[in-house]
Amino acid sequence: MRAVDLRDLSCGGHPLVKKYLLTGLLVWVPLGITLWVLNLLIGTLDRTLTLLPEHWHPDELLGIHIPGLGVILTAVVVVGTGLLVRNVFGQRLLAYWDGMLRRIPFVNAIYNSVKQVSDTLLSDSGSAFGKVLLVHYPHPHSWSLAFQTSVPGEVTRVLAGEEYVGVFVPTTPSPVNGFYFYVKKSETVELDISVDAAFKAIISMGVVTSPEPTQLPRPNL
């Protein structure tokens, strides 16, 4: 067995050092980022405890701080709200609250926009991002992942004569930003992958892809 020369393991770019360094980073970087995000999320939700009267604070009752109680409180409030609005009284209360917010200047513009987006994305009957498509973007000789959305009636009337679809092209690695436009349906390629798989590919910049091989239909251009 050849003895390992300490000079070979110096910071001079030895392959062993790089190999072990990268291996260690692959273990600790995802774990560290996950713990950081969880700590940020739990710390943010724990601030919801400040909504309680001071003599009800767990810190006052128990004498110690227990991280994560804000998460439990938030979950209870959200689930309780969902149970409440499922009955007739809750529906009337929600309608009254909704109508009040819609009558407040400036607030109604923000509330209406956010509510429309949340209703589309979170509703059981919502049709947001129904299909994953390939579209020509940003130039005619390239393809980008896109999500098919709905097309407003007025746009359909103006573009009468050929079928168009609304598409949202998200940016990488932050898919919450992107571009929304209309393209001819004949110039898109529908992919047989889930929206979740497409999001993973976008967020990971193509590193994480769907494990199932997909036969893409040839676009009729």
Which stretches in the chain have pLDDT values below 50? 1, 4, 6-11, 126, 213-217, 221
What is the domain partition of the chain in residue ranges? Answer: 131-203
**Tokens for 151?**
């097309």
On whether the CB atoms of residues 46 and 68 are closer than 8 A, the answer is yes
Q: In terms of Cα–Cα distance, which of 214, 215, 210, 213 is closest to 199? A: 210
pLDDT at 133 (0 to 100) = 92
| Sequential DSSP letters for the chain | -PPPPGGGGSTTT-HHHHHHHHHHHHHHHHHHHHHHHHHHHHHHHHGGGGGS-GGG-HHHHHSS--TTHHHHHHHHHHHHHHHHTTSHHHHHHHHHHHHHHHTSTTHHHHHHHHHHHHHHHHSTT--TT-EEEEEE-SSTT-EEEEEEE---HHHHHHTTTS-EEEEEEE-SS-TTSEEEEEEEGGG-EEESS-HHHHHHHHHTTTSS--SS---PPPP--
pLDDT at 135 (0 to 100) = 92
